[in-house]
A and B are shown apart, each in its own frame.
Chain A
């Protein structure tokens, strides 16, 4: 499953970051590396973007970008 598929309040473990170039590098740079735990905090009022907590901080990502991140539910 991918990061856009988890539910609010759920925590998932990152397995792999797909995509390439700027997009992938930016996701990695923000700390979305394999084995990192990510919790979905909430959705924006229009359902997108999503707000996560990881590594002790909050990060907002768009659904389309989240689809690049493969995760497994804990």
Chain B
């Protein structure tokens, strides 16, 4: 038995999914789009799985998420639709329900957040709703795990018992139930038109196994995807055109508005009958009060920056540093222990190095990201669950609109200044595929904290103390500026066309539940670890191999990055390409290559290749042989802009669900870095810098 879980964004869908499955889920994806399809067995129920579909408001042909959802429902024919609604905004949530009803599939409604509804003094008569709609309506509170058992019972009932027995008039596509009754969602002139079109195209729809009523309504709404699929004859098209014309004349409105109107009329009537509101909505009143401060004209932005500042300080400073150091010490201790073990076992030197320097160090460097990711997503899920993130989107929207994004992209980009990996992972909460893809492309231009190590060493070596801060700030600003320009270009090229209009709901403020926050962290950590032990691990091994062997595949020793290594050979071979950028030295180029494993590696590689003992020596003398202050700046500029580390690449691949896309993104980014550094360097040289 397969249940499709559908609902608006922000209605508690994921929470319900986690309650149903205990989060034992399998994540698949929909072909061609970056939308996740999570599927998991329902806890304690044999043969019952639930599929979590994207959060949507409607079933239009305009957004990838909506098309994916309706295609899934029509093509895969789940046994039951589980439509979850935020009962605190019932009217708007019921709109999707009326569309799902067109599909004529077994369905059940879960009214979520009923605890809040009760708290607000509102009474929803679910029995009355059941009577009027013709399917079960179960009040639940997903975050408190209330009503879930009853929900599962009613799902079984819905599937076991054909809809017909719930007074559904199946052979009449024009009615859902109660022919001519007050609560038929399809009424008046629209009803007549849908009815007529349904009869007209019945065979076409049956041929492609599309619910007849759905096909008829979509035809009426001028849905081109459905029209093309139905393959209507010219005569049929003419008749439909005629019917539409008649309808539009009769109602004095156009076809799309007519259908929407009819739906909302039905919803209003239904809510009038089943919902009794007493007193004021306490949560809304509280939200209004909090919003007076958090979205205040003057204070909103300082408050937001303050909150993010504290999060950064805790994540990358106090707690983060403590955890990362502890973690690193543990890993080092473990590597030391294995090292001793291998030495006493007297295995060959290269195998020893493969295990310690290649595998374990590789895993170790990746694991050092873990505390950052866990901490950041701890804070982020609190911001998201509490409802604050929607306010951030509201406040920051105007800034990002010019590059074709919405306020929702602001937080991922900001996190990019800390670490690109969680920043890319945070794009998952963006609502459209377009925004997700575009944000992952722009995040790497926000200079991450690992690059700070490189800036630190170079500015100390080449610039007087007074100029150092200026150089660093200029790098950050250039990164952002290039990101903005890139965004503008993308908006005009790859992501051309109208973005889906920005609509945002400001949900009531809620106390985040510990369970939901922990699950979210676990989700992200697991996601990251899986990648750490596959793609990132492999990449570390490749880099180790290139560092430790020469061209004839002779082992040249564990002290990596030596002159004769394959990596150095590649560096020497590629170096001339970088001469016009001001740093044709093979050691600089080799350092950039090892920097792909993690950016701070650039410094350690240079230390080894220049044969100096420490970073301090690098600063005091080593680097001066390779760069002038100006070419050092060019090197930093390239470091700032070129492709991100392997961990970020893996995250981009994961979030865009396309290796090709990720690879192309990295190539383009490196191309941009090359071009900009080239121009800066050549112009600079022209002026005698």
A residues with CB within 8 A of B: 17, 21-31, 33-34, 36, 42-49, 51, 55-62, 65
B60 lies within 8 A of A62 (CB): no
Tell me, rounded to whole Å, the shortest Cβ–Cβ distance linking A24 to chain B.
7
Q: Which of B157-165, B252-260, B531-539 contacts A (4 or more CB under 8 A)?
A: B252-260
Given contacts A23-B500, A44-B398, 13 further A-B contacts (CB under 8 A): A22-B62, A22-B63, A22-B500, A26-B62, A26-B503, A29-B57, A33-B261, A34-B261, A43-B297, A44-B397, A48-B397, A62-B502, A65-B501
Tell me, rounded to whole Å, the shortest Cβ–Cβ distance linking B146 to chain A.
23
Tell me, rounded to whole Å, the shortest Cβ–Cβ distance linking A41 to chain B.
8
Could you say which residues of chain B place their CB within 8 Å of the CB of A34? 253, 257, 261
Could you say which residues of chain B place their CB within 8 Å of the CB of A21? 62, 498
Q: Which of A17, A36, A48, A51 contacts B398 (CB 8 A)?
A: A48
B503 lies within 8 A of A42 (CB): no
Within 8 A of A (CB), among B156-174: none
B91 part of interface (Cβ distance < 8 Å)? yes
B395 lies within 8 A of A56 (CB): no
Tell me, rounded to whole Å, the shortest Cβ–Cβ distance linking B100 to chain A.
13
Q: Mark B496-519, 1 if CB is under 8 A from A, else 0.
A: 001011111110000000000000
Q: Which of B58, B300, B505 contacts A58 (CB 8 A)?
A: B505
A49 lies within 8 A of B500 (CB): no
Q: A22-B498, A25-B60, A44-B398 are in contact. Are A30 and B92 (CB under 8 A)?
A: yes
B397 lies within 8 A of A25 (CB): no
Q: Mark B284-300, 1 if CB is under 8 A from A, else 0.
A: 00000001000111101
In the complex, residue of chain B having the shortest beta-carbon distance to the beta carbon of A48: B398
How many Å lie between the Cα of A37 and that of B655 in the bound state?
40
How many Å lie between the Cα of A30 and that of B62 in the bound state?
14
How many Å lie between the Cα of A48 and that of B406 in the bound state?
12
A55 lies within 8 A of B91 (CB): yes
Could you say which residues of chain A place their CB within 8 Å of the CB of B62? 21-22, 25-26
How many Å lie between the Cα of A24 and that of B407 in the bound state?
21
Q: Which of B398, B501, B506 contacts A27 (CB 8 A)?
A: B501
How many Å lie between the Cα of A56 and that of B395 in the bound state?
22
Tell me, rounded to whole Å, the shortest Cβ–Cβ distance linking B402 to chain A.
12
B232 part of interface (Cβ distance < 8 Å)? no
B505 lies within 8 A of A60 (CB): yes
B394 part of interface (Cβ distance < 8 Å)? yes
Could you say which residues of chain B place their CB within 8 Å of the CB of A60? 394, 502-506
Could you say which residues of chain B place their CB within 8 Å of the CB of A61? 501-503
B668 part of interface (Cβ distance < 8 Å)? no
In the complex, residue of chain B having the shortest beta-carbon distance to the beta carbon of A28: B260
A56 lies within 8 A of B257 (CB): no
In the complex, residue of chain B having the shortest beta-carbon distance to the beta carbon of A43: B297
B300 lies within 8 A of A56 (CB): no
A30 lies within 8 A of B395 (CB): no
A57 lies within 8 A of B60 (CB): no
How many Å lie between the Cα of A30 and that of B500 in the bound state?
13
Q: A29-B260, A30-B92, A55-B92 are in contact. Are A45 and B300 (CB under 8 A)?
A: yes
Could you say which residues of chain B place their CB within 8 Å of the CB of A51? 394, 506
How many Å lie between the Cα of A59 and that of B393 in the bound state?
13
Could you say which residues of chain A place their CB within 8 Å of the CB of B60? 22, 25-26, 29
Could you say which residues of chain B place their CB within 8 Å of the CB of A46? 395, 397-399
Q: A28-B257, A34-B261 are in contact. Are A49 and B394 (CB under 8 A)?
A: yes
How many Å lie between the Cα of A22 and that of B221 in the bound state?
12
Within 8 A of A (CB), among B203-222: none
B295 lies within 8 A of A57 (CB): no
How many Å lie between the Cα of A61 and that of B401 in the bound state?
12
Could you say which residues of chain A place their CB within 8 Å of the CB of B397? 44, 46, 48-49, 62
Could you say which residues of chain A place their CB within 8 Å of the CB of B301? 45
Could you say which residues of chain A place their CB within 8 Å of the CB of B486? none
Q: A25-B60, A25-B62, A49-B397 are in contact. Are A31 and B92 (CB under 8 A)?
A: yes
Could you say which residues of chain B place their CB within 8 Å of the CB of A62? 397, 401, 501-502
Could you say which residues of chain A place their CB within 8 Å of the CB of B145? none
Q: A30-B57, A42-B295, A57-B92 are in contact. Are A65 and B502 (CB under 8 A)?
A: yes
In the complex, residue of chain B having the shortest beta-carbon distance to the beta carbon of A25: B60
A58 lies within 8 A of B500 (CB): no
In the complex, residue of chain A having the shortest beta-carbon distance to the beta carbon of B499: A22
B505 lies within 8 A of A49 (CB): no
Could you say which residues of chain A place their CB within 8 Å of the CB of B630? none
How many Å lie between the Cα of A7 and that of B394 in the bound state?
18
Tell me, rounded to whole Å, the shortest Cβ–Cβ distance linking A69 to chain B.
11
How many Å lie between the Cα of A68 and that of B296 in the bound state?
27
Counting chain B CB atoms within 10 Å of each CB, the highest count among A23, A43, A51, A57 belongs to A57
B101 part of interface (Cβ distance < 8 Å)? no
Q: Which of B95, B395, B398, B399 contacts A31 (CB 8 A)?
A: B95
Could you say which residues of chain A place their CB within 8 Å of the CB of B500? 22-23, 26
Could you say which residues of chain B place their CB within 8 Å of the CB of A25? 58, 60, 62, 256
B335 part of interface (Cβ distance < 8 Å)? no
Tell me, rounded to whole Å, the shortest Cβ–Cβ distance linking A6 to chain B.
18
How many Å lie between the Cα of A58 and that of B394 in the bound state?
12
B89 part of interface (Cβ distance < 8 Å)? yes
In the complex, residue of chain A having the shortest beta-carbon distance to the beta carbon of B300: A45
How many Å lie between the Cα of A42 and that of B289 in the bound state?
13
Nearest 10 interchain pairs by C-beta: A22-B62, A57-B89, A60-B504, A29-B58, A46-B398, A28-B260, A45-B300, A55-B91, A23-B501, A26-B501
